[in-house]
Amino acid sequence: MQTDQQHTNGGSQCLYTGNAPSSSDGIGTNDVDAGHTTVFSPYYDLSSYVNPAFSYWRWFTNNTGANPGADWWQVMITDDGINWHYVENNKSSDNSWRKFVFRVSDYVGLTSNVQLRFIASDSLRPGQNLDGGSLIEAAIDDLMLYEGDGIQIFCGDFFTLKANHLVDVKAVYDRASLIALDKALRQKYVNHLNDIISEDVRVLLLTLNYPQHQWVGPPYAVSKLEVDSLYGGSFQCQELQNISDIENEPMFLLQGVDFVEKAVYCLQKVRM
């Protein structure tokens, strides 16, 4: 349920909702129960910034227990300490470290009192099985504030992106997009990507592969055969690396998954 690894390379700490005292304890030991766990960032003075952005890595799971998939992960921002605006507000479980980036001015003004809060919730539903409680765990690491010239951040639905948004894009880095989508959406994702990027654009694609019947995902299993099938019509596909790495994936080990393969591909668009 809860990760036993922080995210920072060479680091040793992260914020997390709680770990069981012993590896022999049940998976529901020390998770979020019947309420909210909330953490606040420091206040940031952004009054001298032009186009700042925040990024963070998060881990969130709500897909087990009596009422799976029903509880919320929320991230909010304020510029006055009173009025809060949602940055994330979803019920999508993701048992992996996932990076999220957003532009501050899309949500609030650039004041001297900008603050974030992160909320993991477990809601009671009286009368349902075990009153509807699910197993909730969350973690946060590597919260960063940055600003740079020539960086434009789009925050929204990928499928609403148009080719004119990406005229100057020459490369795409896909670390956790394709594997976050179920099989029905993966072809739609690749088709839309093909529609909005120009010829000769290269894609650095990272995937996981494992026995899909042993883990419900996300992240989902994507094999080399599927990569070739998805991209082969419009892209030249080269597998750069493929390693077996189950020993560094405690989440999969805990679930009894037989193997985990990590692959890196270089894809170059050659036709529309």
Give the pLDDT score at 19: 59
pTM of the model: 0.58
Q: For 15-146, give the CATH class.
A: mainly beta
State yes or no: pLDDT of 186 exceeds 60. yes
Going by C-beta distance under 8 Å and a sequence separation of 6 or more, which residues neighbour residue 154?
Answer: 161, 165
pLDDT digits (tens, 9 = 90+) for 194-209: 999 999 999 999 999 9
Average pLDDT, the chain: 84
- What confidence tens digit (pLDDT) does each residue in 235-248 have? 999 999 999 999 98
Q: Where are the domains of the chain?
A: 15-146, 165-269
Q: What is the pLDDT of residues 56-112, one digit of tens each?
A: 998 877 766 666 666 778 899 999 999 999 998 887 777 778 888 999 999 999 999
Region 165-269: CATH code: 3.40.50.150
